[in-house]
Amino acid sequence: MNFPPLPSSIEAALADRGYSAATQVQGEVLQPEAAGRDLIVSAQTGSGKTIAFGLAMTEQLLNEEGKAPYSIKPLGLVIAPTRELALQVSRELAWLYARTGARIATCVGGMNPSEERKALRSGATIVVGTPGRLRDHLERGALDLSALAAVVLDEADEMLDMGFREELEEILDATPDGRRTLLFSATIPRPIEVLARRYQRDALRIATISDGRGHGDIAYQAVTVSPPEIENAVVNLLRYHEAETAILFCATREKVRHLHAVLQERGFGVVALSGEHSQSERNQALQALRDRRARVCVATDVAARGIDLPSLSLVIHVEVPRDAEALQHRSGRTGRAGKKGTAVLIVPFSRRRQVESMLGRAKIEAEWTDAPDRESIKAKDRERLLEKLLQPIIVDDGDRDLAERLLAERTPQEIAAMLVQAHRAKLPEPEDLMANTPEARREAQKDRHRAGFEDTVWFRMDLGRRQNADPRWVLPLLCRRGHITRNEIGAIRIGQNETFFQIPRPIADKFADAAARTAISEGDDEPVTIERSESGPRDVARVNRKASHSRDNANAPRVNPKPRFNKFDKNKKREKGTNPSKPHRGGKPSPQGKT
């Protein structure tokens, strides 16, 4: 698609950058029916949308000569969800408007706010920033939006997901009624529609995302694995694809921290991005990916938003996305600007139906497959090494002499084998995975024994759900009474009036003796009884059934009723000198310091 007539200064900038044809989204926003109108544009990241809204704003920002008039108050405003995306947008607009005389100011977190206020006072044609920093400048009086002619909300759905609704509304409320509003979003959920109705007038809807699949340049795969083998599957996927840059998505910062350590230990060049990392750490991680010191990034959804890595070709969803929109957001990090990418979902056996439904809602056709095994990875390694060694090379005299010396002392076959071994030594070793068979899937659904819990003894305590028994305080109680650690307690089964738990047989006698001794020193009038159980948790089901049949008599007086535990209420003021870590029978506090 060719560009329509544009100001000469803009055409020259596009020519300098080698732009000969417009992408779909760029062509759509420049159509005659879109001229001067508010727009709602659904476009994937990497589709050229930054240049698209930069071109669309020329009508409001430039005069007939293609120049930007000098103005202390900004004429254009671009709001982006993250610092990285705002800086990227600022760089793109800088070269696009370089010949127009427009001045661009960037206002983002992590930068010197005094320098930003100085740039705003000097006059800026376009301001690019993140919602929080823009609102801060607005409230301090450094940002005056009364002359604004055009405002762009880039990645609007992500900004709402990140909780920036209040900031966006405050900023938009400070703009004049006659301004043009361009809303760009990968998806158009209901909150975006509500925002558009409030701040746009007669907006033109432009959709450039294919109806057949979430992103035409991304190949989707769904890999089914046993839950305990997810990390091994990640290792093998990274080794199989050997992507120039890959990003692994996790749901929590704890999972990011753990997986980052696992991959580091296995020899991958890996960085991490999550909410616990400072802006300086984020910058260092992204720079390591850009200069190839690291090839893998483990990140949460929010931390990865706004990241632009041109070499990113592989996205792995280590944990299943929460919905179809999150799936598209995550996957949209790859397959950008016409490049091909791969998005892999790691799917535990039990969640296959859920993922199939999610893919259907996103209109994504994914190939269901197994995780690559050791043999397929080695075959890929051989192909890559052969391709690399057969590439043309330039040999100097020193290299030629070394080659002749090697040939004099080793056969060509030995030299080739040495090259293969040297190449393979740099690569992390693949993992052995359990076969994806019906028998293996059934086995994965069964309870898997923890190491050291192959032979256990069941114990019982005379408290259950009716006494508010909860694992959060049962575990500390057992550790304190039995002089053991949390890792030495196995399965816990809580019934109506009693709780069963496992102790490894080698330490069962030691635990029983300690539990009996500490019962005397407990601060409660009636200490919790802890004893061995011959029948184990089978009694739990019997007691539960009995309790369900006697609900009609639930309010009747009980014979010798057991005192109840008080629920722990952190908002309730406690008496001075009590131990808050331990729930108490009958509501009586125990003296602090007693164990």
* Digit-coded pLDDT (tens) for 7-22: 999 999 999 988 888 8
If asked whether residues 283 and 368 sit together in one domain, one would say yes
If asked whether residues 311 and 279 sit together in one domain, one would say yes
The CB density around residue 198, as the number of other CB atoms within 10 Å, is: 10
Residue where a domain terminates, one of 312, 347, 373 = 373
Two structure tokens written together for 300: 């949460």
If asked whether residues 157 and 282 sit together in one domain, one would say no
pLDDT at 566 over 70: no
If asked whether residues 155 and 299 sit together in one domain, one would say no
Residue where a domain terminates, one of 309, 343, 373 = 373
Residue where a domain terminates, one of 373, 396, 425 = 373
If asked whether residues 253 and 119 sit together in one domain, one would say no
Q: Residue 430 domain-assigned?
A: no
d(Cα 325, Cα 215) in Å, to the nearest integer?
12
* Digit-coded pLDDT (tens) for 391-402: 777 778 888 888
Query: Which among 225, 197, 183 is positioned nearest to 49, based on CA atoms?
Result: 183
d(Cα 295, Cα 274) in Å, to the nearest integer?
17
Considering only 281-285, 488-492, 537-541, 553-557, which range has the smallest mean pLDDT?
Answer: 553-557
* Digit-coded pLDDT (tens) for 288-321: 988 889 999 999 877 676 676 778 889 999 999 8
Considering only 237-241, 396-400, 419-423, 523-527, which range has the smallest mean pLDDT?
Answer: 523-527
* Digit-coded pLDDT (tens) for 361-373: 888 889 999 999 9
Considering only 74-83, 390-399, 497-506, which range has the smallest mean pLDDT?
Answer: 390-399
* Digit-coded pLDDT (tens) for 89-137: 999 999 999 999 999 999 998 788 999 999 999 999 999 999 999 999 9
If asked whether residues 142 and 189 sit together in one domain, one would say yes
* Digit-coded pLDDT (tens) for 202-254: 899 998 765 444 455 789 999 998 888 899 999 999 999 999 999 999 988 88
Write the DSSP symbol of residue 429. P
Strand 126-129 with 270-273, pairing:
unpaired
Write the DSSP symbol of residue 423. H
d(Cα 27, Cα 1) in Å, to the nearest integer?
7
- Mean pLDDT of all residues in the chain? 82
If asked whether residues 469 and 536 sit together in one domain, one would say yes
479 neighbors 518 (Cβ within 8 angstroms): no
What order do you get walking across the sheet with 204-207 strand by strand? 104-107, 126-129, 76-79, 150-153, 180-185, 39-42, 204-207
Q: Residue 388 domain-assigned?
A: no
Number of structural domains in the chain: 3
Q: Residue 368 domain-assigned?
A: yes
If asked whether residues 99 and 137 sit together in one domain, one would say yes
If asked whether residues 231 and 195 sit together in one domain, one would say no
Q: How confident is the model at residue 571 (pLDDT cuts 50, 70, 90)?
A: very low
Considering only 63-72, 172-181, 322-331, 347-356, which range has the smallest mean pLDDT?
Answer: 322-331
Two structure tokens written together for 252: 């929590």
Q: Residue 379 domain-assigned?
A: no
3-state SS assignment for residue 165: helix
Tell me the residue range of the domain where 566 lies: 453-595
Residue 363's CATH number: 3.40.50.300
Q: Residue 477 domain-assigned?
A: yes
Q: Residue 437 domain-assigned?
A: no
If asked whether residues 265 and 351 sit together in one domain, one would say yes
Q: Residue 435 domain-assigned?
A: no
Q: Residue 340 domain-assigned?
A: yes
If asked whether residues 147 and 296 sit together in one domain, one would say no
Cα angle 250, 254, 260 (rounded to 5 degrees) comes to 70
If asked whether residues 333 and 234 sit together in one domain, one would say yes
Q: How confident is the model at residue 439 (pLDDT cuts 50, 70, 90)?
A: low
Find the helix or strand (DSSP H, E) in which 490 lies. Answer: none
